[in-house]
Structure 1
Amino acid sequence: VTAVNQVWCGDVTYIKVGGRWLYFAAVLDLYARRIVGWSFSMISDANLTCEALRMAVELRGHPQDVLFHSDQGCQYTSHKFRNELLKHGLRQSMSRKGECWDNAPMERFFGSLKSEWVPETGYKLEHEARADVQRYVSRYNISRPHSYNDYRSPVAEERLAA
């Protein structure tokens, strides 16, 4: 990957809220490992991933011919999600079945989120979880050093390349 908006990765994780799960979908630009889209829902379905994708498309200025890589989860194999990709002129790529490390940058981001930020006991309220995870995304993009970027943040790496 030699520039922004060539390859995006997507995945879904879950965060404990009370006695339930809050699902968090994220889209990462592989160039500088910047999170460019995200969404939350109490249901892990194609609506969740489509919303994160739409946010990425909007924030990145409607780029064309981006390769979107994900696992083979039902959210990404659904007609709804595939149609959303086509609608925005994006191409789809998927990991081999059962091979989570084919999408290692997303696994790394979610691992960092959970080990560095999310309380082990989770959150009491959904709105607290949403706000706190969004704070992490902002911190991750703007100020968190990333080894892949020679210890520059994703935003700093993209500025350097511009």
Structure 2
Amino acid sequence: MSIQRQCDLTGLPRSSYYRESHGGQESRKNLEIMRLIDEEYTGHPFYGSCQMRNYLHRKGYNINRKRVKRLMRKMGLQSVAPKPSTSKSHPEHKVYPYLLRGIDVSHANHVWCSDLTYIRLTGGFVYLTAVMDWYSRYVLSWEISVFMGSDFCVSVLERALRCHGKPDIFNTDQGSQYTSSDFTGTLKDHDIKISMDGKERAMDKP
């Protein structure tokens, strides 16, 4: 989803100014590079750090791959192209199997899902998470946060449960926010089956 579309959905103007109160703000040059990365990623979501570095070189930015990789990771962007899994799961976080392959999602509250992304603003960026009903594509709950922790993901989940009942299955990726005991524990407390995409497999869809 493009940044413009995300801002439209959340009611945030792209010209909004954001200042992070606890530091960690990127330099103006890095913010400009992140803007270019975001725009190119919108059209080419299969680009990894190597291809993105080459694109930035063509735009006149002499930047190494390590820096591009760091900025993409900070933005929550990764190539959707299938690739070997090289990272290990958090030793304290259980990863659940993908339950949706071959399932016909035929009614509301059958499957909910959640994802986390970032929204670039003039002076920095914030994180957006949302819970959506897979069948209707209706956004049940959403929230914006300065930090990418599990607490605001749990808050969005709890709000959706209070307002819309509960699903049979809840699907996420394997991000640490979703594998945390706080998030999975909330699902278990409501007797909801937990489903997770295969690691780095953006094509896991029912």
TM-score range for the pair, normalised by the shorter chain length: 0.5 to 0.7
Identity %: 34
Matches of 1:40 and 1:87 in 2, distance apart?
Answer: 25
Q: Which structure dedicates a bigger proportion of its chain to strand?
A: 1
Match of 1:74 among 176, 179, 186: 176
Aligned to 2:191, which of 89, 92, 105? 89
Q: Which residue number corresponds to residue 27 of structure 1?
A: 131
Going from structure 1 to structure 2, the CA distance change for 1:103 and 1:72 (only over 3 Å counts) comes to farther
Higher Cα Rg, which structure: 2
SS in 2 for 1:11: strand
3-state SS of the aligned residue for 1:102?
coil
The size of the alignment, in residue pairs, is 102
Q: C-alpha offsets along residues 93-140 of structure 1, whole Å, 9 cap, x if unaligned?
A: 000000123259xxxxxxxxxxxxxxxxxxxxxxxxxxxxxxxxxxxx
TM-score of the superposition, structure 2-length normalised?
A: 0.46
**SS of 2:148's equivalent?**
coil
The DSSP-based 3-state class of the residue aligned with 2:143 is: strand
How far residue 87 of structure 1 moved from its aligned partner, in angstroms, is 1.9
Q: C-alpha distance in 2, partners of 1:9/1:36?
A: 10
CA distance in 2, matches of 1:103, 1:56: 22
Write out per-residue CA displacement over residues 53-82 of structure 1, whole angstroms, 9 at most, x where no aligned residue.
11211121x33x520001000000111111
Partner amino acid, structure 1, of 2:176 = C
CA distance change for structure 1 residues 70 and 96 in 2, over 3 Å: closer, same or farther? same
Unaligned 5+ segments in structure 1 are: 105-162
Shift of 1:46: 0.8
Distance 1:18 1:48 in 2: 23
Instruction: Tell me which moved more, 43-52 or 13-22.
Output: 13-22
TM-score, reference length from structure 1: 0.58
- Structure 1 residues 48 and 78: alpha-carbon distance in aligned structure 2, compared to 1, 3 A threshold: same
Indicate how the Cα distance of structure 1 residues 53 and 96 shifts in structure 2: closer, same or farther if over 3 A, else same. Answer: same
**Contact 1:22–1:42 (Cα < 8 Å) also in 2:** yes
Give the helix-richer structure, 1 or 2: 1
From 157, 161, 167, the counterpart of 1:53: 157
Partner residue, 2:109: 5
Query: CA offset at residue 45 of structure 1?
Result: 1.2
Considering only aligned residues, what root-mean-square deviation do their CA atoms show, in Å?
1.7
Query: 1:8·1:27 contact (CA, 8 Å) conserved in 2?
Result: yes
For 1:1-162, what aligned pairs fall within 5 Å after superposition?
Answer: 1-60=105-164, 62-63=165-166, 66-102=168-204
CA distance, structure 1, for counterparts of residue 168 and residue 156 of structure 2: 15
